[in-house]
Amino acid sequence: MDVTPIEAAQLFNGLANGGFRNPLRAVRAVISQDGKTVKAFPLQVTQVASPEVVYQVDRLMVHVMDHGTGRPARALLPPGLVVAGKSGTSSDYRDSWFAGFSGSHVAVVWVGYDNDQPTGFTGSAGALPVWAHLMGSLGTTSWNAPMPESLAEVQIEYPTGLRVVPGCAEDIVAVAVPAGTELPAKPGCGFPQAQTPANDPVNTLIDGARKLLQTLTH
């Protein structure tokens, strides 16, 4: 579907705010010549998604910056700055997108032509460098949202999605899952090897999370 940059920014605004939406405006207030406010728009906050689900998606988009299409941004961003983001590329390389946020800023970059001709850029090749230069110049803060109490952090092996402990695998990422979820563990990592049916809801959940993570980071 067709999406404008400000519409993409509105979507990522909800993700950056933990599932709460406030309308984006090009004009925040009208000020008279003597400094008095003639017109101002009140803050309108609406919950549009579950904070638990949004937090999980946000954590996955942080992994995009370390394991996926956002990795080139690391050379342009301040060391240690935690950001979340996602690239986008339309058919025939017509549009190059990158959208994401830090702890205090949301930014969306679109690279394309008005006549809809191909740019030849993927999202990470065209829009991402612009986004990273912009985000790196703002003096912004790291994304560090508090994890909802209903979630728990676990470590998984990135290529397989199996639960591990430090030192048990080379490529480990931390993900948030509903508290009490028993993840399938990598053999030899010191976890009890409980057997669950293939159609068990836990296996379905983990398989879906693994596919989502790998989709977001490629």
- Separation of alpha carbons 213 and 218, rounded Å: 9
Report the topology of domain 5-137. Beta-lactamase (3.40.710)
Q: Three-state DSSP class for 116?
A: coil
DSSP per position, 17-72: TTSEE----S--EEE-TTS-EEEE-----EE-S-HHHHHHHHHHHHHHHHHSTTGG
pTM over 0.85: no
* Type of residue at 178: P
Residues 6 or more apart whose Cβ sits within 8 Å of residue 97? 8, 87, 88, 89, 90, 108, 109, 110, 111, 123, 127
Q: In the chain, where are the structural domains located?
A: 5-137, 151-216
pLDDT band at 145 (very low <50, low <70, confident <90, very high): very high
Residues 6 or more apart whose Cβ sits within 8 Å of residue 11? 99
User: What is the predicted pLDDT for the residue at 23?
Assistant: 92
Give pLDDT tens digits for 51-95.
999 999 999 999 999 999 999 999 999 999 999 999 999 999 999
Give pLDDT tens digits for 162-216.
999 988 888 899 999 999 988 899 988 877 654 444 455 555 555 665 565 566 5
Tell me the average pLDDT of the chain: 89
